[in-house]
A and B are shown apart, each in its own frame.
Chain A
Amino acid sequence: MKRRDEIIVGATILVTVVVVIAGAFWLSQTRLGASAAVHNARFQTVGGLGVGSPVVLRGVRVGRVQAIRLGERNWVEAEVQVYEGVVLPARPAVVAASRSLFGEWQADIISLDQAPDDPNVRRDLEAALAEGDDAWPGATLPDIGQLTAQANRIATDITTISSRIQTVFDSQAVGELQGAIRNFTAIADNINRFTQQQTDIMGDVGSNLRQGSDVLADAAQRLQTSLARVDEATEQGELEMILDNTAAASEQVRNALEDLREVVAVARANQASLVRLIQGADTLMTRLQEGTGTLGLLMSDSVLYQEARLAVAQLRELLADIQANPRKYFKFSVF
């Protein structure tokens, strides 16, 4: 009975010890048998980083924080344990940062050349680096508490500004502001219309430009064709002939221009007499239109016209009678 009790108790204790040790290692993610290198990192403050916090490289856990202690000259030194086989950056640095909003912290191993673009972090890293020994420089990002405190200060400032604005803006100011906003709205509408018009115009201009561009392209095409023809003509000697013809035509045109210039000079010389002729014609026409003068009276007086016609008719009858009876009117006598 006693022996059996001892075996049962011993087995129970053994199982418990195994469970506790295995569970502890499993929960702490400690890798048995894996050797690890320990590096020192120097911080001005480690924030929420603690012993056992994970050490990560590019998001992958590569170790744990083994110890944290206060160092000389107000530095905090952390022992960073990194598993064997992990390839570290050439110039490693450590940034302690929150893993989430719930107080979890981790130590990020980064390359010093690729430090975050944060002036505080860079300043901390440079200060730690300036100490000059083998310890990795370390910096700490603000945690959610600090960010919240900063946000609280900003909110307080905004509240103060809001209260001052509320003090400054009485009902009259609000009315004026509303009027200004309405004016601004009208201006914006006008600008919008103007912009629309300009847009249309620009559209037309663009269209015209496009057409012009097409014409130019066509002209260029034609010019290219002409040049090709010129090139061909040059090869057959036709260009020289065309140029000769062109020169001859130009000479003829020049002569014609000389003749035309002489004609114009003669015309300019006869211009005074022509003007007088026109003025006389104009006077004559005026008098005709006014019914003055012989022709004017003749044109405007119907009685005279009738009498003239009657006289002409009688003259025709007289001539006919003279032809028929010449002796009636003419008498020849010799002596």
Chain B
Amino acid sequence: MYNLVAVRVAGWISALGRAGHFLSDVTRSLRDVGTWAGLTAVQMRRIGVQSLPIAVFISIFTGIVLALLSSYSFTGAVPLYFVGTFVGKAMMLELAPVLVGLALAGRVGANIAAELGTMRVTEQVDALETLAYNPHAYLVVPRVVAATSMFPVVVALAMAVGMGAGWIASISLLELSTPDFVKGLRLFYQFKDVWFGLVKAMSFGLVIALIGCHKGLSTRGGAEGVGRETTSAVVLSAEMILVLDAFWAVVLL
């Protein structure tokens, strides 16, 4: 029993050490701008632009559900224009960053982990090293920079679309007028609401990309290993999103 626990603890510490080593390599690779800068635009399109449809899809239905749920909860006691307040606050502060982050953890994190894992098990990464390429500057940094910079973009559009969907749902399903919805939307608005959500999204992008790259590059054991590391990357990314969400709530709010 003690041996099992010791092995597990040693495994965690070892994994932590590998992660630290990986972060160190990535940080050093940031100086190799000539390598990663040219590759970043492609990754930004793959990670950011191509993630917009799913982000918009999620935010549309989230906005509708928020409007309906808030009107259901506010019936009688609270003025209905607070639907706008609730939709706006919830979308900007929490739901757009977290739900889009979780969705992109599956889409982007799994994609990165699977792609790099396959490259690792097929020894393409070893080939890059053999050719004197820095695999971190060539493979990791463009993805990390792209995810970190494009996640706020995706989340910002998701916020706007979600609030728009909530507005349409309010005026079409709740018989709430546009001025009332806008009044509620503006009621407790602060610019902090926006940048708080964007900062969270940026951190989510950074973590998802780092985890995906780390899991992918540490893949062992062929296709099975790729699948295992991909799953592990998605799960760990989702967990880290929720941890970071709580962290930012404690630190920034």
Contact = CB atoms under 8 A, between A and B. Distances in A.
Interface residues of B, number: 28
A29 B160 CA distance: 17
Nearest to A50: B190
A8 B190 contact: no
B160 A23 contact: yes
A19 B82 contact: no
A5 B42 contact: yes
Nearest to B193: A27
A1 B42 CA distance: 9
B188 A104 contact: yes
Contacts of A12: 48-49, 52, 150, 153
A20 B194 contact: yes
A28 B188 CA distance: 9
Given A8-B49, A20-B194, A23-B160, A102 B44 contact: no
B52 to A, nearest CB: 7
A9 B142 CA distance: 14
A36 B103 CA distance: 44
A28 B42 CA distance: 36
A20 B49 contact: no
A5 B156 CA distance: 20
Interface residues of A, number: 23
Interface in B149-192: 149-150, 152-153, 156-157, 160, 185-191
Contacts of A6: 41
A16 B157 contact: yes
Interface in B222-249: none
Nearest to A21: B194
A13 interface: yes
B185 A27 contact: yes
B221 interface: no
Contacts of A51: 190
B194 to A, nearest CB: 6
A52 B193 CA distance: 13
Interface string A1-19: 1100110110011011001
A295 interface: no
A29 B48 contact: no
Contact of B49 (A9, A29, A103): A9
B107 interface: no
B38 interface: yes
B45 A8 contact: yes
B189 A9 contact: no
A318 interface: no
A19 B187 contact: no
B41 A9 contact: yes
Contact of B78 (A1, A2, A102): A102
Among B41, B160, B187, B194: residue with most chain A CB under 10 A:
B41
A29 B185 CA distance: 11
Given A20-B194, A29-B186, A5 B157 contact: no
Contacts of A2: 38, 41-42
Contact of A24 (B42, B152, B153, B191): B191
Contacts of B160: 19-20, 23
Given A2-B42, A16-B153, A19-B156, A28 B49 contact: no
A73 B45 CA distance: 57
A52 B52 CA distance: 32
Nearest to B44: A9
B253 to A, nearest CB: 14
A5 B150 CA distance: 13
Contacts of B198: 20
Contacts of A15: 157
Given A2-B41, A9-B49, A16-B156, A24 B187 contact: no
B52 A28 contact: no
A5 B82 contact: no
Interface string B107-131: 0000000000000000000000000
Interface string A97-111: 000101110000000
Given A24-B194, A103-B188, 20 more contacts: A2-B42, A5-B41, A5-B42, A9-B41, A9-B48, A12-B49, A13-B149, A15-B157, A16-B156, A20-B160, A20-B198, A23-B160, A23-B194, A24-B191, A28-B189, A28-B190, A29-B186, A52-B190, A102-B79, A104-B187
Interface of B: 38, 41-42, 44-45, 48-49, 52, 78-79, 82, 88, 149-150, 152-153, 156-157, 160, 185-191, 194, 198
The 5 A-B residue pairs with the shortest CB-CB distance, nearest first, are A16-B153, A9-B44, A27-B189, A5-B45, A6-B41
25 contacts: A1-B42, A2-B41, A2-B42, A5-B42, A6-B41, A8-B45, A9-B41, A9-B45, A9-B150, A12-B153, A13-B149, A13-B153, A19-B156, A19-B160, A20-B156, A20-B198, A23-B160, A23-B194, A24-B194, A27-B88, A28-B189, A28-B190, A52-B189, A102-B82, A104-B187
